[in-house]
Amino acid sequence: MTHEQAPSRTAVVTGASSGIGAASARALAAQGFQVVCAARRTERIEELAAEIGGTALTCDVNDADSVAALAAAVPVCHVLVNNAGGAVGTDRVEDADIEGWRWMYEVNVLGLVRVTQALLPALRASGDGVIVNVGSTAGRWAYEGGGGYTSAKHAVKVVSETLRLELNGEPIRITEVAPGMVRTDEFSVKRFGGDQAKADAVYAGVDHPLLAEDVADAIAWVATRPSHVDIDELVIKPRAQAAAHKVHRT
């Protein structure tokens, strides 16, 4: 008796060069997806693609031509993980560095919208598309010095809700996965302008911050539910974190 091979399904992950993006690419490949690893740093995604049997596609989510090239390379897309994003600075609103805020809005929100627009035809063509937007608990609560990032991540939540309303009746599901404290190599270091000591202090004494793999596991779970099951949002935090200001430290 021969077994028919299930046709391979395609997943696109933005920001796949590190952290949650790279871990999600690995987790989706482990679930049998053909993964397109998209990010600006070509060398990193080429290495990752080789490791997981996927494809590397250099892409800057803030560059229209670059995103158009991504869409052209992926005519059918079953899963889109809008993961590219990040935080810079911890300035108060009063002293807000407008350029830093602009960067955060562009990468976390406008980049996500640009990629989504470009890949919607491919998601429709799949007949069963899933968009996973990587939001944050910063899209649920405010904290001092976080205004630029929390505003952008609140926007990710609302864009996700809006898309779900607008695409109702189409075979496309939208999930916002919103992690709390995740220890990755780059997130906090970038936020603090390369200051490793300040970045380390964020996680000091916290028993097991989440790892990128924990969030990737949730993303792969979302992406593999049966077609009729829509997971609207999934907030995921380490046990030690109850709220922005309520983090158990030893």
241-243 vs 79-82, strand pairing mode: unpaired
Query: Which residue, 92 or 225, is less far from ligand 8X3 as judged by CB?
Result: 92
From 105, 143, 149, 203, active-site residue? 149
Q: Tell me the C-alpha distance between 51 and 46, whole Å.
A: 9
Q: Minimum distance between the CB of residue 110 and ligand 8X3, rounded to whole angstroms?
A: 18
Q: Minimum distance between the CB of residue 108 and ligand 8X3, rounded to whole angstroms?
A: 10
Please give the residue ranges that form the binding site for ligand 8X3 (CB under 6 A): 136-138, 146, 149, 180-181, 244
Q: Minimum distance between the CB of residue 208 and ligand 8X3, rounded to whole angstroms?
A: 15
**CB under 8 Å to 203, separation ≥6 — which residues?**
181, 183, 188, 209
233-236 vs 172-179, strand pairing mode: parallel
Query: Which residue, 54 or 180, is less far from ligand 8X3 as judged by CB?
Result: 180
Q: Tell me the C-alpha distance between 110 and 115, whole Å.
A: 9
Residue 149 among the catalytic residues:
yes
Query: Which residue, 72 or 243, is less far from ligand 8X3 as judged by CB?
Result: 243
Residues belonging to the active site: 149
